[in-house]
Structure 1
């Protein structure tokens, strides 16, 4: 898949069993329903999971009903054959038959059984897990879902995230999240689709969305209140001291009423952001509640962190996950931090740090594609980066080298010309010797490829590319 398309666009973790439960709450991540523990004579292990799931769903005492419902559904939905027999494809099983087999159970037990199985199979059998999710989250069980979460909160977070990512009952899932507020997903990539109460964009633009709607205010723009929010983000967003924020916002002021001025500004900001208590104040320090507020700059840092810290992965799945996160980070970075909001010292410091991280990510991901000989993909990475920052000479040079590897010497000269003109106009500088050496290598290569006596193609338009 082309990067342009990507850029445009474990074990079951259940609570520990209640006292008296037999066995351990271990997942069924075998990727095959016929290999579930209760089929192979390990009911203690299976029942421990039932105890943990029912307890997390607030249905303690109904473990036996849930266990029997799960077993009945599995045996009707996809009757297991011999051990190791692959699970039938999702379109080869009968939903109607399976749901009919458990019709005598309470709807709550049916929903819990479906979600339990979906969580157990979500990684090894994602197509099957999605089919189970569609059954559990469909119209049939909508009344049951509205009362309470039908599973442990961490498991429901995983399943809701999967549903949002795969387009399973998206609007209903978002409504359930807003109703029950399970904890947001710790995975930064999964958090991108989560319906956060507050989303704050700072990369390339500044925007605050509450319940997916832009902040609305009448009359004069509350500039100082929004600056307080920006300063809180730039200083990390967690336990930021009041004196530091006061110095950031009023560097030239020094008086006894500064605390009152700050309190008034904070009050206006909280009022702007609606009823959700996003900003917490404890012991003279401010924190943006990470369970209620998503910030693109912080998501970018989390998504890029693992890729930048990792060596070349030997595990293919791990490599795909790292690449997925790196590409998601590049999509988020649509411009520099608060680039249109002024150049205050506290803005510049954070802007420089996150910009440096962005350039490291671009070079690392582009370099990975170069190592694999995927020159087209590396080219798209560098071109996308130059749309964001067109004054980083190293990116032009890497882009030239990629075109050179493909024998596209005319493109090398075009990129060089763009680099030379922008550096000259904006910075009053000329390209470095390293960049010039790449250009000269393409000039020599082009001449070697040109028939004797013919005009080299890169000189066919005097004044265009010939004098680069």
Structure 2
């Protein structure tokens, strides 16, 4: 060595506070000063000088840095220097990860880690932390199937809050959160991120570090929160103070546009620069091609989508990143399924699941099950599709998943509708529908359990739910808007000319006064319902929005119409109709609008609905009677009387059913109840038919 310089400062500079190798430019400056007079021959003879030379390189000098660190590692191992070997190994790994190109050489480094651990000597806590961070990064991107992955995550989570270096805390925190998300543990990832943000809130952060935190929050939002939160993060990251890279901002904007699906074309425009707008590493190019494949899929451009996803898979393979390859294989399966190429879809799906299970990823398994269910439905295998969908949604609920590979609004809505109709994980499905702000595909067969923004109950006591909460308008000025809503429902809720409504509610209004009063009342109603689009007005015709509003009246009539269509001309109700009728009868809580039955405009629909109720209670009761299930028939008729105790025919059928069961006392009691109700409320005596049954009952000859 040159005797005019002191090189004993190099080990303290490089190892006394190893974590600050990430955020202490002064150290790099000192190293450059110390190394400047040395020849390559001198540097190549010393492990510490090689290590110091790696630290002194510019961040983007990947090849030089890797050469110095790996050469230093060989020297340290040969010298049995455990401290130096840990440092050189960690920095070798970090260079490969930072380059975001091929992770192939991580295999050699991971394999030799056990050799490094077996060396003699003590290692400081800071160097252990540097090593732990590097190991977690290497396993995350290159070897997620490693048996010690869960142990590494646990160790990293435990030390995260005690790290002094902001840069190290961010780096380790980012890797823990991403690993947990990729493995399918969003709740644990959220807890780690909350702790990280709380810890860093006490630290002065640069704009770049703030952006890194925001991006991490976005990743969590993609997996477990709403697209709306992603938009908020994007807005923050698009502010002038933000130093977020254009590539990261583009990917974030694409995700926001695609999950909101306001315009896939908008997302498409973000990719106009092509792959040249992204860094040249395999990992960054892989991100571009995967995003482009997703956008083309949403736009229905399936050949372009397949071309881009193949490129993404190839880049993931070149990078030797198994998790990314598996997720892109799933995206490819989605594209192939959309193209009706079912055999290739199955083989692609199988390959993806093999990779995903090797990575111990519940997230990949969930997405594979969702794609398999979609495939089965498309092939007409509804039974298998529902079984697979049930498995997927059970897993999704338990893990708290809220992201879908190749998400498309229409497809997700279709699967969610199937799940709700089959009563599969309704609470979880409702949360996903609200998260993605979905509207139903099928408005002709509305699903009651869909999380409708507005639910209106008019069978029996009138009530309104807005966004899941009961609306209780107690102030007198709200009477007219509510009355307007009732009239709209009474008139069918669809395409009603406003003049018809004006004639009902304001018959004495002349000229423009009626139209002005209607417009004012409609405005107040929309404001009361908190959804401006709930009541549609087009060309003077009024409708309840079928995407926003659900009403029990419409649902009741749709279900019974479907049952009538299936029954056709048959005398008895067919078994396929029984469930439909039972569902409808459960909805009928009383006459239309209950206490408002005296309103003239309500009478036609009251009578129509009551007639349908009577007819189908009788039909369902007769079905059970025909099958000699007297107990079930009794339950149906009692349900009918609980809703309307004045329907004498139900008492008649109850008397017959009780007699068939040998319950003479109950039969006589039913006649007595009928007689008292009719006398007290209507001032009438039982009909001749009811009296005939009573007389026959007394003579034990009821039929």
TM-score (structure 2 length as normaliser): 0.48
Secondary structure at the counterpart of residue 260 of structure 1:
helix
Deviation at 1:255, TM superposition (A): 5.2
Q: Which residue of 2 aligns with 1:259?
A: 515
Q: Which residue of 2 aligns with 1:350?
A: 605
Q: Which residue of 2 aligns with 1:34?
A: none
Q: Which residue of 2 aligns with 1:155?
A: 414
Larger Cα Rg: Structure 1 or Structure 2? 2
Residues 160 and 173 in structure 1, CA contact (< 8 A), matched pair in contact too: no
Residues 372 and 388 in structure 2, CA contact (< 8 A), matched pair in contact too: no
Match for residue 387 of structure 2 among 127, 148, 151: 127
Deviation at 1:412, TM superposition (A): 1.2
Cα distance between partner residues in 2 of 1:348 and 1:115 = 47
Residues 307 and 322 in structure 1, CA contact (< 8 A), matched pair in contact too: yes
Deviation at 1:392, TM superposition (A): 1.3
Cα distance between partner residues in 1 of 2:407 and 2:681 = 59
Structure 1: any 5+ residue segments left out of the alignment?
1-50, 78-96, 448-468
Deviation at 1:382, TM superposition (A): 0.4
Residues 205 and 338 in structure 1, CA contact (< 8 A), matched pair in contact too: yes
Q: Which moved more, 1:374-383 or 1:319-328?
A: 319-328
Q: 1:76 to 1:437 in 2, by over 3 A?
A: farther
- Structure 2 residue 496 is the aligned partner of structure 1 residue 240: yes
Residues 161 and 185 in structure 1, CA contact (< 8 A), matched pair in contact too: no
The one of the two structures with greater contact order (alpha-carbon pairs below 8 A, sep at least 6) is 1
Residues 382 and 398 in structure 1, CA contact (< 8 A), matched pair in contact too: yes
TM-score (structure 1 length as normaliser): 0.70
Q: Which residue of 2 aligns with 1:323?
A: 578
Structure 2: any 5+ residue segments left out of the alignment?
1-292, 311-331, 337-343
Q: Which residue of 1 aligns with 2:450?
A: 194
Residues 307 and 325 in structure 1, CA contact (< 8 A), matched pair in contact too: yes
Q: 1:425 to 1:197 in 2, by over 3 A?
A: same
Q: Which residue of 2 aligns with 1:139?
A: 399
Residues 497 and 540 in structure 2, CA contact (< 8 A), matched pair in contact too: yes
- For residues 310-340 of structure 1, the C-alpha deviation after alignment (integer angstroms, 9 at most, x for no partner) is 33899xxx95542111111011001110012
Q: Which moved more, 1:230-239 or 1:128-137?
A: 128-137
Q: Which residue of 1 aligns with 2:160?
A: none
Q: Which residue of 1 aligns with 2:347?
A: 71
Match for residue 429 of structure 1 among 668, 681, 684: 684
- 1:297-336 pair list within 5 angstroms: 297-311=553-567, 319-336=574-591
Q: Which moved more, 1:210-219 or 1:225-234?
A: 210-219
Q: Which residue of 2 aligns with 1:453?
A: none
Q: Which residue of 2 aligns with 1:375?
A: 630
Deviation at 1:394, TM superposition (A): 1.1
Match for residue 171 of structure 1 among 423, 428, 434: 428
Secondary structure at the counterpart of residue 204 of structure 1:
coil
Aligned length in residues: 371
Cα distance between partner residues in 2 of 1:112 and 1:128 = 7
Q: Which residue of 2 aligns with 1:23?
A: none
- Structure 2 residue 376 is the aligned partner of structure 1 residue 100: no
Deviation at 1:395, TM superposition (A): 1.1
Match for residue 592 of structure 2 among 337, 344, 367: 337
Match for residue 459 of structure 2 among 200, 203, 225: 203
Match for residue 181 of structure 1 among 438, 459, 463: 438
Q: 1:394 to 1:150 in 2, by over 3 A?
A: closer
Q: 1:408 to 1:187 in 2, by over 3 A?
A: farther
> Aligned-pair RMSD on alpha carbons?
3.6
Cα distance between partner residues in 1 of 2:298 and 2:373 = 13
Q: Which structure has greater helix proportion?
A: 2
Q: Which residue of 2 aligns with 1:213?
A: 469
Cα distance between partner residues in 1 of 2:385 and 2:402 = 25
